[in-house]
Amino acid sequence: MAKRKEEFKLTKPLHHVAFIMDGNGRWAKARGLARHYGHHEACKRIIEIFEVCRKYDIHVMSWYAFSTENWNRPQEEIDHLMDYLEEFFEQQIDYLDSVGTKLIVSGDLSRIRPQTREVCYKAIERTKNNTNWYINICLNYGSRDELARACRMIAEEVKEGKLEINDITPETISSHLYTAGLPDIDLMIRTSGEQRLSNYLLFQNAYSEFVFTPVKWPDFKEKAFVDCLKEFQGRARRFGGLKNE
Ligand code: IPE
Ligand code: IPE
Ligand code: MG
């Protein structure tokens, strides 16, 4: 009888995983479908990968849903993306709340259409006291905008006499980002073979391990994710020192 394969055990500390869910358009095109089918399929992977994170006790997840640069896409595609985001929240919020997930949205929601914004605010409000799992959705998010916003807030505090210039530390900056209070990212995964950050969580990714997989996001299921976790587990995280973690 064939021996059952041993389940992978994650032993390296992994508190926060960040995803750039890329390749939806190419996935759809390869099937002769319109790009938005790829985005729809992509949403199904989010909840599946969330389950795998729970299985491996990874408590914080960041997801790149829409970048500040994605406004360059056709309006029709943007509308589809917002439709699917609303659908995701509507379908999953009861479940996410029931397992104690707190939803955080990073990004400037003022430019997001009102109904999508409302769905986000409702989910944030409903889950604000949950502490088991953290889902950070990056929506109309850009790291450069986030850092400029943090600078403005810090400058305002200095102007009001609440903060001394010499007291500004990396922690001050961290605490003025959308991700304030969340741990630094340990692992950043980008699917579809592209190897760049695309303005994603630049400060929070300062010491993360990057794993790039050729798998397109709609095909990114448990096995592909576990392969990334294995690669992460094999990395020596030195943080500038000499000893392996
Ligand atoms: C990522 O997939 C999803 C979003 C940017 C919202 P893409 O739509 O970028 O897919 P490709 O890169 O064109 O294949
Ligand atoms: C990054 O993917 C943004 C999201 C996944 C939401 P893109 O496909 O927009 O990034 P570029 O344009 O290839 O850098
Ligand atoms: Mg892309």
4 pLDDT higher than 90: no
Tens-digit pLDDT profile for residues 45-100: 999 999 999 999 999 999 999 999 999 999 999 999 999 999 999 999 999 999 99
Question: What mean pLDDT do residues 124-144 have?
Answer: 98
For residue 12, CA distances in Å to 126, 150, 171 come to 32, 32, 25
Is residue 99 domain-resident? yes
- Pocket (CB within 6 angstroms of ligand 2): 20-22, 64-67, 70, 194, 196, 198
Neighbouring C-beta atoms of residue 123, cutoff 10 Å: 24
Is residue 106 domain-resident? yes
DSSP string, 111-171: GS-HHHHHHHHHHHHHTTT--SEEEEEEEEE-HHHHHHHHHHHHHHHHHTTSS-GGG--HH
Distance, in Å, from the CA atom of 19 to the CA atom of 47, rounded to the nearest integer, reads 13
Q: How many domains does the chain have?
A: 1
Is residue 2 domain-resident? no
Q: Which residues pair with 20 in a beta bridge?
A: 190
> Which residue's alpha carbon is at the smallest distance from atom 2 of ligand 2?
22
Widest Cα–Cα separation across the chain = 73
Residue 76 sits in a domain whose CATH number is 3.40.1180.10
> Which residue's alpha carbon is at the smallest distance from atom 1 of ligand 1?
22
Is residue 201 domain-resident? yes
Is residue 168 domain-resident? no
For residue 195, CA distances in Å to 10, 191, 215 come to 25, 9, 13
For residue 140, indicate whether it is catalytic. no
Using an 8 Å Cβ cutoff, are 185 and 161 in contact?
no
Find out whether the beta carbon of 107 lies less than 6 Å from any atom of ligand 1: no
Distance, in Å, from the CA atom of 27 to the CA atom of 200, rounded to the nearest integer, reads 22
Among 150, 124, 125, which residue's Cα sits nearest to residue 204? 150
For residue 70, indicate whether it is catalytic. yes
Tens-digit pLDDT profile for residues 153-182: 999 999 999 999 999 999 999 999 999 999
Is residue 129 domain-resident? yes
pLDDT confidence of residue 240: 95
What b/e readout covers 199-233, taking b as 16+ CB neighbours within 10 angstroms? bbbebbbeebbbbbbebbbbbbeeebbbebbebbe
Closest atom of ligand 1 to CA, residue 42: 3
Is residue 197 domain-resident? yes
**Which domain covers residue 51, as residue numbers?**
16-142+184-230
Is residue 241 domain-resident? no
Calculate the average pLDDT of the chain.
97
pLDDT confidence of residue 5: 77
Strand order in the sheet with 187-190: 101-106, 133-141, 60-67, 16-20, 187-190, 209-212
116 pLDDT higher than 70: yes
pLDDT confidence of residue 1: 61
Using an 8 Å Cβ cutoff, are 70 and 78 in contact?
yes
Closest atom of ligand 1 to CA, residue 28: 14
The two three-digit tokens of residue 55, written as one number: 């299985």
- Report residue 245's pLDDT band, with 50, 70 and 90 as the boundaries: low
